[in-house]
Amino acid sequence: MNFLELQVTLSFCIIFLLRMLGMFMILPVLSKYGILLDDANEFLIGLSIGIYGIAQVIFQIPFGMLSDKFDRKKIILIGLFLFFIGNIFSATMHSIWGLIIGRFFQGSGAISGVCMACLSDVIRKKNHVKSIAAIGVSFAFSFLISMVIGPFIIRYFGYFSIFWISAYFSIFCMLIVFFIVPSSKNYSLSKNNKNSLFSKKLQFIFNKKFFRSYLGIFFLHFLLTINFMVIPNQFEISGLSFENHWKVYSSTILISFLILFLFIFYCKHKYFLENIIEICIVFILFSVLMFQEANNNLFFLIISLQVFFIAFNFLEIFLPSYLNKQLLSNYKGSVMSIYSTSQFLGISFGGIISGWLYSFLNIAEIFLFEIFIVLIWLMCSIFCKK
């Protein structure tokens, strides 16, 4: 990478890291502390998680389309400002409905796809995988940090401090974008091209091969959100105190990082690279099966979580990399926004459905539901690949 590519990649790594901290820090603690908010119940707690993804679904594609027409840098700044407003609102309201509204504003700053498109504008094709891998690592690292510091922040500074910290992070991200990230090229379109823009976007949305990535990121984050409505309670039932959960999260994620790096640098086997998505889905199936059979055994719960995180981190890298190789320059913002929409749609559905399921199903039945979902995902991925 040249200096500009390295500068932009590191800038977006920091932006993704800090933004996702604001979303992830709430996951390991909301099921425990959210119930203490005024008017809270299990369903509304799930809704407060899922509403972030619903807002992302609503605004992600419009933001992407605007970024194809205007300077992507300005669109990113607008999104970060909306994220800042959402954090302030969440930090100042003391009811579950205030949290839901604040989380909606957080999610309305839907710029993940725009950021990926801006990154793709600057990075040469030969360095795309490295750049996306760096973003994926920052994404996963934010998850690791949030699992570790989320409970500590609440314990020592209070529940609402999470949102104040996230608000400060969003200001720092805006400064990075304003002073470091270069303005992206705007791709001017002729009148005929503008008239055919909508039909071409539909071709991207209904492209079977693209759906492999869209569905993949949807199901991945759908399962992640469900797991973190269930697994923290499972750990406590199995004898692991809430204060020690971070030790399990940090060790399993670090091990999965190590395995990912070894694979990227040393694996050149064509079969594994071509089928890596389906292989990871099978690993996720194994992890859910182990969760289902763990019966509150702490050792098997940790092994199951380890297998899940290995597959999760692999897919975070290879799903966008697979999609990015096939993009046309004029539609990067739109297509990557569709991809990000699928991601947050998975989060929103996972949060809402997990809260609903948790209100009347036992743990074993919820994991049985996850097994059914993973099998559907595997069949869809195989079909879209052909």
Maximal C-alpha separation, the chain: 65
Bridge partner list, 95: 38
Q: Where are the domains of the chain?
A: 3-185+193-385
pTM over 0.85: no
Q: Centre a 10 Å sphere on the Cβ of residue 172 and count the other Cβ atoms it contains.
A: 12
Q: Are 95 and 38 in contact (CB under 8 A)?
A: yes
**Which pLDDT tens digit goes with each residue over 248-305?**
877 887 888 788 777 776 666 665 667 788 889 999 999 988 888 877 788 888 899 8
| Paired tokens of 37 | 């908010």
**Which pLDDT tens digit goes with each residue over 66-117?**
877 777 888 888 888 998 998 888 888 778 888 888 888 888 887 877 877 7
Banded pLDDT at 185 (limits 50, 70, 90): low
Give the residue with greater pLDDT, 53 vs 176.
176
| pLDDT at residue 340 greater than cutoff 80 | no
Give the residue with greater pLDDT, 228 vs 298.
298
| pLDDT at residue 200 greater than cutoff 60 | no
Give residue 375's region: left, alpha or beta (phi > 0; psi -120 to 50): alpha
Q: Is 254 exposed, middle or buried (0-12, 13-18, 19+ CB in 10 A)?
A: middle
Banded pLDDT at 199 (limits 50, 70, 90): low
| pLDDT at residue 329 greater than cutoff 90 | no
Give the residue with greater pLDDT, 17 vs 22.
17
Mean pLDDT in residue range 325-333 = 59
- Average pLDDT of the chain, as a whole number: 78
Reply yes or no on domain 3-185+193-385 having CATH 1.10.1670.10. no
User: What's residue 268's pLDDT?
Assistant: 61
Banded pLDDT at 307 (limits 50, 70, 90): very high
User: What's residue 176's pLDDT?
Assistant: 87
Banded pLDDT at 360 (limits 50, 70, 90): confident
Banded pLDDT at 197 (limits 50, 70, 90): low
φ, ψ at 38 (rounded to 5°): -60, 135
Report how far Cα 309 is from the mean position of its chain's Cα atoms.
13
Q: Are 212 and 384 in contact (CB under 8 A)?
A: yes
Give the residue with greater pLDDT, 99 vs 331.
99
- Worst-scoring range by mean pLDDT, 49-53, 59-63, 85-89, 277-281? 49-53
Q: Find all residues with CB under 8 Å of 52, minimum gap 6, and list them.
A: 23, 103, 104, 106, 107, 344, 347, 348, 351
User: What's residue 187's pLDDT?
Assistant: 47
Bridge partner list, 38: 95
| Closest CA relative to residue 330, chosen from 168, 228, 196, 164 | 196
Banded pLDDT at 190 (limits 50, 70, 90): very low
Q: What percent of the chain has pLDDT over 90?
A: 5
> What is the spatial distance between Cα 14 and Cα 90, in angstroms, rounded to a whole number?
23
**Which pLDDT tens digit goes with each residue over 131-168?**
766 776 777 677 777 767 777 777 778 778 888 888 88
Q: Are 233 and 355 in contact (CB under 8 A)?
A: no
User: What's residue 189's pLDDT?
Assistant: 43
Report how far Cα 126 is from the mean position of its chain's Cα atoms.
25
| pLDDT at residue 60 greater than cutoff 70 | yes
> What is the spatial distance between Cα 100 and Cα 110, in angstroms, rounded to a whole number?
17
Q: Is 198 exposed, middle or buried (0-12, 13-18, 19+ CB in 10 A)?
A: exposed
Q: Are 342 and 288 in contact (CB under 8 A)?
A: no
> What is the spatial distance between Cα 206 and Cα 220, in angstroms, rounded to a whole number?
20
